[in-house]
Amino acid sequence: MSRLVLVLGDQLSHDLSALKKADKGSDIVVMAEVSEEAGYVKHHPKKIALIFAAMRKFAKALQDDGWEVRYTRLDDADNAGSIVGELLRRAEETEASGVICTEPGEWRLIDKLKYAPVKTHIIRDDRFIASHAEFEAWAEGRKALRMEYFYREMRRKTGLLMEGDEPAGDKWNYDHDNRKAAPDDVSVEGPLWFEPDAEVEEVLELVEDRFGDHFGDLRPFGFATTRAQALEALAYFIEHALPRFGDYQDAMLEGHQFLYHAVLSPYINTGLLGPLEVCQAAEEAWKKGDVPINAAEGFIRQIIGWREYVRGIYFLEGPDYPTRNVLKQDRDLPAFYWGAETKMNCVSHAVAQTKEQAYAHHIQRLMVTGNFALLAGIDPGQVHEWYLAVYADAFEWVESPNTVGMSQFADGGVIASKPYVSSGAYINRMSDYCKGCAYKVSIKTGEDACPFNLLYWHFLDRHRDRFSNNARMGNMYRTWDRMDEDRRETVLKDAAHWLARLDKGDTV
């Protein structure tokens, strides 16, 4: 008797564990575009289009490879509207004995499949380098789960940038070399984009019709939607951008939305590219002398280090992780995160880029939109839903630890040893945003002061009980305590006034 083989929109890999366990001669692949998955948060239209278009092309590739595929489009009349509903419909239709699937990347969907009224066998997702068991074994007994030490284990396991038992170049981490401010010129125009073909255009029209009210610009659309295109995008990045990626990975420029970033994470996270093959391509470029070691190491660390680490945290911490809020921050997400006007030039550019591209790089996410939300006391649950909705590479297993843990410190320090907060000085050092801002980064108090300057001290003051004994924050509190009392009062008063205007809905 046949079984159904469920393939989800972020599992578009021919070596998917469920496909490897299935019998091509008797089992039936089920894929479905469903409203429940497209709408449980209001995903960016580009993200929905990328996933639907890539799903349709992957389904065709499976058929060409000899699989029987039952594919449901969003606008099919019989669409049940949910993954479980589609499995039930297809099980009735085919008289299948049950379902096999690779483990989803969200607790929400895992629970739905576990308790589905059709027998479902969930298989480990072996596309990741570290299994849940390996991560749990690494984490057991540690007082702090810091990524750096996990990353070294992944280097040893994969052999990437290793010379025997030692790291290439005698250093595990070249992060110190990867913090250069924005360059005077950028020699690439961004990642490789692809003109939509007829099949992609059909998806774009569907998304325009069904999700036109979602935040984000659908067009122009240029994401890769096949593995072949994703491999082209990888090769383009390795040749043209990776050599300078390391130096400028933290930089931000008004006129350059991508700088030297890869924008490969949407393809890795949907399965079009494998994490190990991407890292091996970077390593090979270093071995050939085409790429400096700080660039290759910085790129590889983001994938086998950070990406694997946050997945480990997500599954180790459990289903309640995205709802944590240890700082008890409860301000509503401001309207300018959804495109309303703001006078903060850095936030305005980061949000505008997000709206246009469904993309912003890690420093724009962490030190601009994330930093502001943390300083201003925004509810981390709302911040989490925003990041999950607006970025093409956002799936809960990778997004929630980055947001709830790294960005908002809402997990109480599971990921970060201190909150990632800064005044306007950091943004000014790493970007040209401050030059065109209505506020003045050099001014510390008053109407013209950079809000990041005011809110930085306001955040430290209101959370003093929690952070004053943090070894990495002692200097910050000593600086605050050395200030004249009148100045401290002025800073707190001005910050409170600014926040009150924010709460009123004023343009700030």
Give dist(CA 181, CA 191) in Å, integer. Answer: 21
How many whole angstroms from its chain centre is CA 291? 25
The SS3 assignment for 174 reads coil
How far is residue 123 from each of residues 13, 14, 16, 150, 254, measured CA to CA in Å?
A: 15, 15, 10, 24, 45
Give dist(CA 9, CA 54) in Å, integer. Answer: 8
Domain count, the chain: 3
| Residue bearing tokens 């998304």 | 207
Q: Provide the strand spans (E) within 295-427.
A: none
The amino acid at 458: H
Strand partners, 69: 29
How far is residue 234 from each of residues 302, 334, 502, measured CA to CA in Å?
A: 15, 36, 42
User: What is the bridge-based pairing of β-strands 166-167 and 162-163?
Assistant: antiparallel
| Residue bearing tokens 């924008």 | 263
pLDDT of residue 178: 86
The SS3 assignment for 37 reads helix
65 DSSP 8-state letter: T
Do 304 and 440 have their domain in common?
A: no
- Residue 57 domain boundaries: 4-123
Residue ending a domain, among 292, 308, 324, is 308
Give dist(CA 142, CA 130) in Å, integer. Answer: 17
117-140 exposure pattern, b = at least 16 Cβ within 10 A, e = fewer:
ebebebbebebbbbeeebbeebee
Q: Smallest Cα–Cα separation from 348: which of 334, 363, 336?
A: 336
**Token pair for 467:** 């952070």
Give dist(CA 171, CA 163) in Å, integer. Answer: 11
**Token pair for 219:** 């067009």
Which residues are CB-contacts of 459 (< 8 A; sequence separation ≥ 6)?
A: 374, 375, 377, 419, 421
Which residues are CB-contacts of 238 (< 8 A; sequence separation ≥ 6)?
A: 281, 282, 285, 290, 291
Q: What is the CATH number of the domain that holds 348?
A: 1.10.579.10
Do 370 and 465 have their domain in common?
A: yes
Strand partners, 153: none
pLDDT of residue 183: 84
Give dist(CA 8, CA 275) in Å, integer. Answer: 18
45 occurs within a structural domain: yes
pLDDT, mean of each 10-residue run, the chain (508 residues): 96 98 97 96 98 98 98 98 98 96 98 95 98 98 95 98 95 90 88 98 98 97 98 98 96 95 98 98 98 97 98 98 98 98 98 98 98 98 98 98 98 96 97 97 97 98 96 95 97 98 98
200 occurs within a structural domain: no
pLDDT of residue 271: 98
68 occurs within a structural domain: yes
380 occurs within a structural domain: yes
Report residue 281: phi and psi, to 5°: -65, -40
Do 410 and 278 have their domain in common?
A: no
Residue ending a domain, among 291, 308, 325, is 308
Contact 508, 342 (CB under 8 A): yes
324 occurs within a structural domain: no
Do 97 and 179 have their domain in common?
A: no
Contact 257, 357 (CB under 8 A): yes
pLDDT of residue 185: 86
Neighbours of 390 (CB within 10 A): 27
pLDDT of residue 1: 84
Which residues are CB-contacts of 336 (< 8 A; sequence separation ≥ 6)?
A: 342, 344, 347, 348, 351
Global confidence as pTM: 0.97
Burial of 170 (0-12, 13-18, 19+ CB in 10 A): exposed
Q: What is the CATH number of the domain that holds 73?
A: 3.40.50.620
Q: What is the CATH number of the domain that holds 247?
A: 1.25.40.80
Do 86 and 45 have their domain in common?
A: yes
Cα dihedral 74/76/77/83 (nearest 10): -50
355 occurs within a structural domain: yes
Do 138 and 111 have their domain in common?
A: no
Do 104 and 152 have their domain in common?
A: no
Q: Smallest Cα–Cα separation from 264: which of 247, 286, 281?
A: 281
Give dist(CA 371, CA 420) in Å, integer. Answer: 7
Do 72 and 178 have their domain in common?
A: no
Residue ending a domain, among 289, 308, 327, is 308
Question: What is the DSSP track for 66-129?
Answer: T-EEEEE-TT-TT--SSHHHHHHHHHHHHT-S-EEEEPPSSHHHHHHHHT-SS-EEEE--TTSS
318 occurs within a structural domain: no
Give dist(CA 508, CA 503) in Å, integer. Answer: 10
Do 11 and 114 have their domain in common?
A: yes
Do 141 and 116 have their domain in common?
A: no
**Token pair for 249:** 């990975």
Do 291 and 408 have their domain in common?
A: no
Question: What is the DSSP track for 198-227?
Answer: HHHHHHHHHHHHHHTTSSS---S-----SH
Do 470 and 410 have their domain in common?
A: yes
231 occurs within a structural domain: no
